[in-house]
């Protein structure tokens, strides 16, 4: 039975900003530069771009089709579109993925909140040992958990207000602010002495660095960055109106997401290269250890610029984390709200509480629970691995098979062309990518990873 009381987005701009908000997150500003630094710079970026436009974007379009055609949460959407068939399991995997991603994501978002406050209190421009600062903080048994709780409460507050008054309204405020901060920081970073080296690293590909593991990392990064595979975009699309063009909306989201990732590289690498002796392949510590060192060394003469730069940078990271976390939260809130007939605020409270418990476990895996290992991994690492390397690629394969091969072709075409009112050529091209390129391409890479 169709639920006529469901929320919906108000307009196309809101839809693009909310979906791009989901995509633009820590994945762009924290994970992307980390991966670029580790995997050799420009060559990685080129491989990444191919994955974005030929694999991840078709999956995004598929999720949009599933969501809008069914107008239901990620589990019920399969019940409606393929009644009596086991496809709903993909929906449940998405619900599980939503809980896992939001839990470990909130830990990094909590660190970001702490760093935002620390930078505003001038603790990040006071020339201390930032490796020690970071390690002491993340291994503290309770402090990071308080920040996880605070961050989850912000997320909860927005989601509980609903689709239009919460998600859409706040995305419309946060996304333009985020883009404005990126432009300010990039201008500042590019004007630093020695920034040319950073640009070289980003713009000159060295293909000798492209190995199988670089290719896999690029695929994982593309899926994570575009939020595809766990039904997040399908849930958002279930609130789209009939006149929203799905293919061009997906293109806009991919474009904005990629732009932000590359611009983040333009912020971080010129700044890092302008300070000699700082490593670009510092891994996840790049943003939390390397950058505070950069702020200190580069702006030692004019501390006020360092203060503003670091403050703005962590506010940027926090905004990005929040626009994404609301979308992960929404997958599970919509599911509990519709499946168990909980009120929206109640459903949101359950999600927040579960993620707080799981997030605390992830946070403790950097300190007192360091020795608790499952398959050789701590909770944080395990949740990251299970979602980015397993659930997201596996569900993405099933989603593209579902839309490409199982769903009625006429239904898919009418979703892609808005009942034949839009150009058919782009729709045909996407049907081809969804049927042939995405499932086979992803399966080969996924199986290769699994077997190795
Ligand atoms: N795309 C987000 C980022 O780049 O940070 C992460 C994300 C959001 C993953 C939503 C999954 C998701 F459902």
pLDDT at 174 over 60: yes
DSSP state of 41: T
Res. 289 pLDDT band, cuts 50 70 90: confident
Query: What is the signed CA dihedral for 84, 61, 249, 339, rounded to 10 degrees?
Result: 30
What's the pLDDT score for residue 447?
86
For ligand 1, say whether the CB of 230 is within 6 Å of any of its atoms. yes
Are the C-beta atoms of 27 and 225 separated by less than 8 Å? yes
Q: What is the mean pLDDT of the chain?
A: 91
- In the reported structure, the alpha carbon of residue 196 is separated from the centroid of ligand 1 by a whole-number distance in angstroms of 31
Predicted local distance difference test score (pLDDT) of residue 283? 63
Q: How far does residue 374's CA lie from ligand 1's centre (Å)?
A: 24
Say how many residues make up the chain.
452
> What average pLDDT does the segment 38-59 reach?
92
Whose CA is closest to 107, among 389, 371, 369, 391? Answer: 369
* Nearest atom of ligand 1 to the alpha carbon of 23: 1
Question: For ligand 1, is residue 106 a contact (CB within 6 Å)?
Answer: no
Question: Does 23 contact ligand 1 (Cβ within 6 A)?
Answer: yes
pLDDT of residue 361: 97
Residue 300: predicted pLDDT = 67
- Tell me, using a 6 A CB cutoff, whether residue 27 lines ligand 1: yes
Atom of ligand 1 nearest to the CA of 327: 10
What domains can you pick out in the chain, each with its CATH number?
Answer: 12-451 (1.20.1740.10)
Q: What is the pLDDT of residues 188-207, one digit of tens each?
A: 888 888 788 888 888 888 88
User: Which atom of ligand 1 is found nearest the CA of 257?
Assistant: 4
323 Cα: distance to centroid of ligand 1 (angstroms): 9
pLDDT digit string, tens, across residues 223-239: 999 999 999 999 999 99
Task: Place 345 in a pLDDT band, splitting at 50, 70 and 90.
Answer: very high
175 CA distance to ligand 1 centroid (A)? 15
Q: Could you give the percent of the chain with pLDDT greater than 70?
A: 97
Ligand 1 contacts CB of residue 220 (under 6 A): no
Q: Is 5 exposed, middle or buried, given 0-12, 13-18 or 19+ CB atoms closer than 10 A?
A: exposed
16's tokens: 């693009």
Inter-CA distances, 282 with 33, 37, 38, 229, 290, Å: 10, 8, 7, 28, 7
What CA–CA distances, in Å, run from 72 to 125, 245, 336, 408?
Answer: 48, 19, 12, 18
> Span 173-184, mean pLDDT?
95
- DSSP line for 149-182: HHHHHHHHHHHHT-IIIIIIHHHHHHHHHHHHHH
Distance (Å, whole) CA 185 – CA 189: 6
SS3 content of the chain, % helix, strand, coil (to 5): 75, 0, 20
Structure confidence by residue, pLDDT tens digits, 6-28? 889 999 999 999 999 999 999 99
Atom of ligand 1 lying closest to residue 226 CA: 1
pLDDT band at residue 212, thresholds of 50, 70 and 90? confident
- Would the pLDDT of 388 be above 90? no
pLDDT score at 1: 45
User: Could you tell me if the CB of 274 is within 6 A of ligand 1?
Assistant: no
List, for residues 425-447, the tens digit of each pLDDT value.
Answer: 888 999 999 999 999 999 988 88
**Average pLDDT score over residue span 409-418:** 95
Token pair for residue 125?
Answer: 């421009």
The response to whether residue 25 sits with its C-beta less than 6 Å from ligand 1 reads yes
């Amino acid at each position: 039975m169709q639920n006529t009381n469901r929320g919906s987005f108000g307009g196309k701009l809101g839809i693009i900003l909310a979906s791009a908000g989901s995509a633009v997150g820590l994945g762009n500003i924290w994970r992307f530069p980390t991966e670029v630094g580790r995997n050799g710079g420009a060559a990685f970026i080129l491989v990444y771009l191919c994955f974005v436009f030929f694999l991840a974007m078709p999956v995004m379009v598929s999720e949009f089709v599933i969501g809008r055609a069914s107008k239901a949460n990620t589990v019920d959407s399969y019940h409606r579109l393929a009644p009596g068939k086991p496809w709903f399991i993909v929906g449940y995997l998405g619900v599980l993925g939503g809980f896992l991603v939001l839990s470990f994501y909130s830990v990094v978002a909590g660190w970001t909140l702490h760093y935002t406050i620390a930078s505003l209190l001038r603790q990040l421009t006071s020339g201390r040992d930032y490796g020690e600062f970071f390690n002491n903080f993340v291994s503290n048994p309770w402090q990071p958990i308080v920040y996880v709780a605070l961050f989850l409460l912000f997320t909860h507050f927005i989601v509980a207000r609903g689709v239009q008054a919460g998600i859409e309204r706040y995305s419309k405020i946060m996304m333009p602010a985020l883009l404005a901060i990126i432009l300010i920081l990039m201008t500042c970073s590019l004007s630093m002495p020695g920034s040319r080296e950073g640009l070289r690293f980003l713009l000159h590909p060295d293909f000798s660095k492209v190995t199988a593991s670089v290719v896999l990392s690029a695929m994982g990064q593309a899926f994570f960055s575009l939020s595809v595979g766990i039904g997040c975009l399908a849930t958002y699309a279930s609130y789209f109106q009939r006149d929203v063009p799905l293919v061009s909306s997906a293109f806009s989201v991919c474009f904005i997401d990629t732009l932000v990732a590359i611009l983040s590289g333009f912020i971080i690498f010129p700044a890092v290269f302008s300070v000699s002796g700082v490593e670009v392949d510092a891994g996840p510590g790049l943003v939390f250890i390397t950058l505070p060192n950069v702020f200190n060394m580069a702006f030692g003469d004019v501390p006020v610029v360092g203060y503003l730069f670091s403050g703005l940078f962590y506010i940027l990271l926090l905004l990005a984390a929040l626009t994404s976390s609301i979308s992960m939260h929404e997958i599970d809130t919509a599911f509990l709200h519709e499946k168990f007939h909980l009120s929206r605020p109640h459903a949101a409270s359950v999600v927040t509480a579960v993620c707080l418990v799981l997030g605390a476990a992830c946070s403790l895996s950097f300190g007192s629970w360091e020795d608790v290992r499952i398959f050789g991994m701590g909770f944080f690492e395990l949740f990251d691995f299970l979602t980015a390397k397993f659930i997201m690629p596996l569900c993405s394969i099933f989603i593209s098979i579902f839309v490409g091969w199982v769903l009625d072709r006429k239904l898919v075409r009418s979703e892609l062309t808005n009942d034949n009112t839009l150009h058919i050529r782009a729709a045909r091209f996407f049907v081809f990518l969804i049927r042939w390129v995405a499932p086979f391409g992803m399966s080969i890479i996924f199986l290769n990873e699994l077997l190795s």
